[in-house]
Structure 1
Amino acid sequence: MGIHWDDGVLIEHGKKTGDPTVVTVNCPDKAGLGCDLCRIILEFGLYVTRGDISTDGKWCYIVLWVVPRPSSLRIDWESLKNRLVSACPSCMIPFFVEQQSSSCSHSPIYLLKVFCVDRKGLLHDVTKVLCELELSIQRLKVMTTPDGKVLDLFFITDGLDLLHTKQRRDNTCENLSKILGEYCISCELQLAGPEYEGQQAFTSLPQPVADELFRCELSEKESSDATKVKSAVVTVDNFLSPAHTLLQIQCIDQKGLIYDILRTSKDCDIQIAYGRISSTAKGYRTMDLFIQKTDGKKIIDHESQEALCSRLKEEMLHPLRVMITSRGPDTELLVANPVELSGKGRPRVFHDVTVALKTLGICVFSAEIGRHSTSDREWEVYRFLLDDTPKFPLASKQARSDIVDRVKKTLMGW
């Protein structure tokens, strides 16, 4: 077994209030390490102001300047360090043996049952507690009863890998009971059994809805937004470096942008030898990435260049899909994000959607999370059946547009 080197991750806080915290990672390299680290940064509600990535294929050195987002949860910096260390390969050589075995392990799934009296904002309050405790929601089923009670079934994994202990389980239930107060009827947490398999998927989306939600092309409204389209620019240069292809990327800044770019590179088997993430200027973010294919060669083929640029632009313009549709007599909010090839979904999506709905004063009648496969990838899909309110009559086209707009802006950090 390898031994982790704790000094491989250093976290240095700024000298003055408001100064960014510098996160330095110095460890053996592995495919997609930058993506894995940025995913954890995003999960903790941190924003990368700038960064540098450098690797020779065997060892890497990554520096990220981060600040908490205004709406972020309390940051447990020690826990963040531990999570970053766990994502790094062992410093023992050869490190790829441990890397391979650890990548195949999966955290056990636990079932959290929360039964309580319904109220506005309840779903978000529960989700917020789970995020603060570093518990990730893998699947979810929310059901409201006719007598005003709600049963929430959360299938969760533990970022700390401690849910096998009674203390961790009891602490989770105590925190939930505290935030729910008199509304809480019962709270149970146990290892998930066969019932989890029944939550692996949900009824397929109607084809017209799926076509609209997962389409690659911009909508009429988005196409008319010339500023947004113009901001998603990817250029390829094969002359500056004799051994690497240079990707120059520019996009309007948004939450998770760096994660989305590195996730796409990881899924496309692109190796980043050196990267510079510039500070945001006038709302724009730029990145310079020196890349190679897995065989160590530049990307010379024009079709391959076009395919990579097209994929990156799509991820920058459409990292998340949001729409409202009718589901029989009910109104349904759909939110979708692509799943990594590793099987991981985007962090904090459910949290951010419930933040937006709570801010609007909209109650959720039922909710669920599942997966949907298209021809080229797998998606994580969040489905919310919404309750009508006087402020947002769901039959109104304007009200629906306002809900989609608020949810999208919350997800994108705008």
Structure 2
Amino acid sequence: MGIPSDEVVIIRPPESPGGPSLITVSCPDKTGLGCDLCRVILLFGLSIVRGDFSTDGRWCYVLLWVAERGRKETRWDLLKKRLVAVCPSVSPPLVSEINSSDQEMDAEQKPQVFLLKFSCYDRMGLLHDVTEVLCELELTIRRVKVSTTPDGTVMDLFLITDTRELLHTQSRREDACNRLRAILGDSMCSCEIELASEEIASCLQASSSLPPSITEDMLTLEIQDESSNAVPQSSFLSVSVDNSLSHAHSLIQIQCYDHKGLLYDIMRTLKDYNMQVSYGRFNTKENGNCNVDLLVVQNDGKKIVDPNKQVALCSRLRMELSSPLRVTLVSRGPDIELLVANPVEICGKGRPLVFYDITYALKLLEIRIFLAEIGRHVIGDREWEIYRVHLGDDHELCASKDKIVDGVTKMLMGWH
């Protein structure tokens, strides 16, 4: 372990044009820190192409090489600020209290929830453009209810939280509405932001009933069918646990094909299992194949020796890496509904930018959205975030069902 830097997070530009930037994190350790760092990086639309991290149980040192994927220029200063925010604070002198308990780690103050309500005239890609503005403003979408009337008027209701925690101020609310007016132009009719009451929040909760296809097809613990057109032909998945190479740690070895948020999916799974990563190495080859080596211990500091626990962990990792998100189309009477489901972390946080990617994929396919809804449902022993999107009547003129599913899946997985 090296001597910790005075700066918690350092971001170095690429050594050559088009190369990856290097993010260095040096801070006190905590269970799930890797997951939190990867979530922030995923939120900024960056891809981790290589990683190296180690910890002595009290202090950790993380190196992550990240690449931009053709979207808007990364706001590096803001990324650094958000990465620092998820790292445990250091109060000199450094004492044993920095190794905080899991309860202290997850005891985050719940942000205030606001209701964004606006109406406008419908047009192609409208919902994605609105979602993009909200992402740029660092407004997190918690729930959404979007409906289109027969005359083409759209009423959008968003339950949102503010990463900057400034939405209670008049200037921040006016800035958000002005940004929306700028992107929507003359089509916007009204825009209001107010603190959401409990009654409003409960009215915007997702429907308690879900189509049987979700529980029967989407949420089964089966590895995604590799014959699907959305899965790269070179995909390969292997997960194993080896206790013979270290007297103190279990070695988890993973070989798989890369996808957007891959390291996040690994780290959130280990976080949910209360696994502590002492050392890890991650690298992506030019053909998209990835190798991951992780030395881990359970929350009691011991190796994973129980065969049943090994099998359960490997099975969950294979499932999460094969199908981190589930995408399907179902018929709802005369309408077609796109369903996307992804598991929520035990701490309650969901995968970032899912709604952004869904609306972006549909915009590229030139498919209108008639109604959209986001909600959370407990199915079995897990909580799921469910995105339900009713497609416009003209969707069949734009793409077949298979093309829609493949297009959305590839966008979510970063294979477009």
TM-score normalised per structure 1: 0.93
Match of 2:219 among 214, 219, 222: 214
Using the TM superposition, give the Cα deviation of residue 197 of structure 1 relative to its aligned residue in structure 2, in angstroms. Answer: 2.2
Q: Give the corresponding residue for 2:374.
A: 369
CA distance in 2 between partners of 1:226 and 1:258 (Å): 18
For residues 240 and 281 of structure 1, do their structure 2 counterparts lie closer, same or farther at Cα, with a shift above 3 Å needed?
A: farther
For residues 6 and 213 of structure 1, do their structure 2 counterparts lie closer, same or farther at Cα, with a shift above 3 Å needed?
A: farther
Q: Give the corresponding residue for 1:184.
A: 188
For residues 149 and 227 of structure 1, do their structure 2 counterparts lie closer, same or farther at Cα, with a shift above 3 Å needed?
A: closer
CA distance in 2 between partners of 1:318 and 1:269 (Å): 21
CA distance in 1 between partners of 2:54 and 2:156 (Å): 44
Residue correspondence of structure 1 range 82-121 to structure 2 within 5 A: 82-92=81-91, 93=95, 94-95=97-98, 96=100, 100=104, 103-121=107-125
Using the TM superposition, give the Cα deviation of residue 218 of structure 1 relative to its aligned residue in structure 2, in angstroms. Answer: 4.0
Kept after mapping to 2: 8 A contact 1:115/1:149: yes
Q: Give the corresponding residue for 2:201.
A: 196
Aligned to 1:278, the other structure's residue is in SS state: strand
Aligned to 1:392, the other structure's residue is in SS state: helix
Using the TM superposition, give the Cα deviation of residue 229 of structure 1 relative to its aligned residue in structure 2, in angstroms. Answer: 9.4
Using the TM superposition, give the Cα deviation of residue 388 of structure 1 relative to its aligned residue in structure 2, in angstroms. Answer: 2.6
Q: Give the corresponding residue for 1:141.
A: 145
Kept after mapping to 1: 8 A contact 2:106/2:347: no
Kept after mapping to 2: 8 A contact 1:253/1:284: yes
Kept after mapping to 1: 8 A contact 2:362/2:408: yes
Provide the aligned length of Structure 1 versus Structure 2: 405
CA distance in 2 between partners of 1:225 and 1:388 (Å): 24
The structure 1 segments of at least 4 consecutive aligned residues displaced by more than 6 Å after TM superposition are 223-230
Aligned to 2:118, the other structure's residue is in SS state: strand
Q: Which runs of 5+ in 1 are unaligned?
A: none
Q: Give the corresponding residue for 1:408.
A: 409
Q: Give the corresponding residue for 1:21.
A: 21
The residue type paired with residue 300 of structure 1 is V
1:275 aligns with 2:276: no
Q: Give the corresponding residue for 2:74.
A: 75
Aligned to 1:259, the other structure's residue is in SS state: helix
Percent of paired sites with the same residue: 52
Residue by residue over 1:168-189, the C-alpha shift from the partner in whole angstroms, topping out at 9 and shown as x without a partner, is 2111111110000011111111
TM-score normalised per structure 2: 0.92
Match of 2:250 among 245, 253, 274: 245
Residue by residue over 1:350-387, the C-alpha shift from the partner in whole angstroms, topping out at 9 and shown as x without a partner, is 00000110000000000000012111211000000001
1:36 aligns with 2:36: yes
CA distance in 2 between partners of 1:225 and 1:69 (Å): 19
Residue correspondence of structure 1 range 376-395 to structure 2 within 5 A: 376-389=381-394, 392-393=396-397
For residues 6 and 173 of structure 1, do their structure 2 counterparts lie closer, same or farther at Cα, with a shift above 3 Å needed?
A: farther
CA distance in 2 between partners of 1:98 and 1:6 (Å): 26
Match of 1:235 among 236, 240, 254: 240
Residue by residue over 1:119-168, the C-alpha shift from the partner in whole angstroms, topping out at 9 and shown as x without a partner, is 11000000011111111111000011121100111111112222122222
For residues 221 and 69 of structure 1, do their structure 2 counterparts lie closer, same or farther at Cα, with a shift above 3 Å needed?
A: closer
Residue by residue over 1:322-351, the C-alpha shift from the partner in whole angstroms, topping out at 9 and shown as x without a partner, is 000011221100001000001111100000
Kept after mapping to 1: 8 A contact 2:335/2:393: no
Aligned-pair Cα RMSD in Å: 2.2
CA distance in 2 between partners of 1:407 and 1:180 (Å): 24
CA distance in 2 between partners of 1:229 and 1:200 (Å): 40
For residues 45 and 240 of structure 1, do their structure 2 counterparts lie closer, same or farther at Cα, with a shift above 3 Å needed?
A: same
Aligned to 1:104, the other structure's residue is in SS state: coil
For residues 62 and 372 of structure 1, do their structure 2 counterparts lie closer, same or farther at Cα, with a shift above 3 Å needed?
A: same
Using the TM superposition, give the Cα deviation of residue 207 of structure 1 relative to its aligned residue in structure 2, in angstroms. Answer: 2.7
CA distance in 1 between partners of 2:381 and 2:103 (Å): 27
Q: Give the corresponding residue for 1:300.
A: 305
The residue type paired with residue 42 of structure 2 is L
Q: Give the corresponding residue for 1:324.
A: 329
